[in-house]
Amino acid sequence: MASRDQNGSDALAQVFKRFSVEAHVGSSPLYASLADGISNDPDLLALASSATHRPIPNLLFGAVHYLLLRGANDKLSSFYPSMTREFRSGIDAYPYFRAFCLEYEHNIRDLLSSRLVQTNEVARCSYLLPAFAFIAGQNPGFPLSIVDIGASAGLHLLWNRYCYEYNIKVVGDELSRVRIRAKVRGGNPPPIPNIFPRIAFQIGLDLNPVHLTDPDSALWLRALVWPEHKARAIQLKAATKLAIDNPPSLIAGDALETLPSVLNQVPPDSTLCIFHAHTLNQFSLDERARFDSLLDEYSMENDVHLLSAEMLTRVDYGTLNLVSIRGGAREYRKLADVDAHGSWLEWTDDSITK
């Protein structure tokens, strides 16, 4: 009979195997190739298994990328498009990656046990903007109160300071250093507002808010962007500067603990929008159920609009969903299909006149 360790290692091998396929979809040939190598390597699977948070592949790749960006001088960096213009093919990278991990094992173990996967993808605002406008439109005349669950550095809370360059129109702050380019697909245009909804209250909750004024935290966030994704890295840099000048309000702690007191601060004459993007995969099933009950209970007194963009099932794009919760009753509606990194959206809800 297989031992527990063996079962754990087999399961982790499968996780890396799956990642190697998905990383192709997510366009990182380097990580696809490395993940495939790790899935067959007991030493690196043992190292990866010391991670205390998930998703483990993103955490391990983030740790190695962070050490390279911080200056660990190694031949491995010649395979990273983020480290050099003339990068080598990722297909040949595995022996170098393996050697690097064994040499820096101690540092990597430290990072695997102390850091979280906190990628804050600014471009997801491309679909948050029409969704906020849609929700504000449910209650004309009232400002929005926005609570971001799993806010990371809170870059989504700066959504009304960005310029949005959709293929069909440009809106927002035309002078903003953060320019979000996104393609609107399909024949049903999203409700992209010329004038942004008013805000009564905005706050982000995170287990470990990333304060971008701290250069090391900013570097960790940078390291989580995949090496091939240069445009994302440039956008993150621009948004980091904006966030340093305009720090978003962030509360540290488990959202299940901090949310009740935050909800008590929501101004009564406002439309409450709670949203979470790429966060619930870090909640256990029990935590997801507790989150639902907490909102159901709150909705006995106040309406909740729960907006979510998660990828909890195995598809190569996400969906943007809205649940309106009133008196504990839930009304579900899918708003859009969306790219995981916000590069395109296809509005599917047809319940509005534009």
Ligand X SMILES: C[S@@+](CC[C@H](N)C(=O)[O-])C[C@H]1O[C@@H](n2cnc3c(N)ncnc32)[C@H](O)[C@@H]1O
Q: Which residues bind ligand X (CB under 6 A)?
A: 116-121, 124, 150, 152, 205-208, 254-255, 277-279, 282-283
Shortest distance in whole angstroms from residue 307 CB to ligand X: 12
Tell me the residue number closest to ligand X, measured at CB.
150
Q: What are phi and psi of 329, to 5 degrees?
A: -95, 140
Which residues share a beta bridge with 45? Answer: none
Shortest distance in whole angstroms from residue 171 CB to ligand X: 21
Shortest distance in whole angstroms from residue 253 CB to ligand X: 7
The H-or-E segment that residue 130 falls in is helix 125-137
Shortest distance in whole angstroms from residue 132 CB to ligand X: 15
Beta carbon nearer to ligand X, 76 or 203: 203
Between the CA of residue 308 and those of 127, 280, 320, 335, what are the distances in Å? 11, 9, 6, 10
Shortest distance in whole angstroms from residue 53 CB to ligand X: 8
Beta carbon nearer to ligand X, 137 or 253: 253
Residue type, 223: A
- Sole residue written with tokens 């393609």: 183
Beta carbon nearer to ligand X, 168 or 315: 315
Shortest distance in whole angstroms from residue 137 CB to ligand X: 23
Torsion of CA 48, 49, 50, 54, to 10 degrees: 80
- Sole residue written with tokens 């022996």: 95
Beta carbon nearer to ligand X, 288 or 334: 288
- Kindly report whether the peptide bond that precedes residue 55 is cis, defined as omega within 30 degrees of 0: yes
Q: Is 117 helix (H, G, I), strand (E, B) or coil?
A: coil
Shortest distance in whole angstroms from residue 200 CB to ligand X: 21
* Closest listed residue to residue 348, CA positions, set 339, 340, 336: 336
- Sole residue written with tokens 């993808």: 121
Beta carbon nearer to ligand X, 58 or 299: 58
Shortest distance in whole angstroms from residue 340 CB to ligand X: 9
* Closest listed residue to residue 150, CA positions, set 127, 179, 116: 116
Query: Would you list the DSSP string of 222-285?
Result: HHTS-TT-HHHHHHHHHHHHHHHHSPPPEEES-HHHHHHHHHHTS-TTSEEEEEEES-GGGS-H
Beta carbon nearer to ligand X, 89 or 265: 265
Beta carbon nearer to ligand X, 90 or 154: 154
Beta carbon nearer to ligand X, 5 or 257: 257
Classify the phi-psi angles of 161: left when phi > 0, otherwise alpha if psi is within -120 to 50, otherwise beta. alpha
Q: Is 335 helix (H, G, I), strand (E, B) or coil?
A: strand
Beta carbon nearer to ligand X, 161 or 278: 278
Task: Give the pair of three-digit tokens for residue 150.
Answer: 């799993």
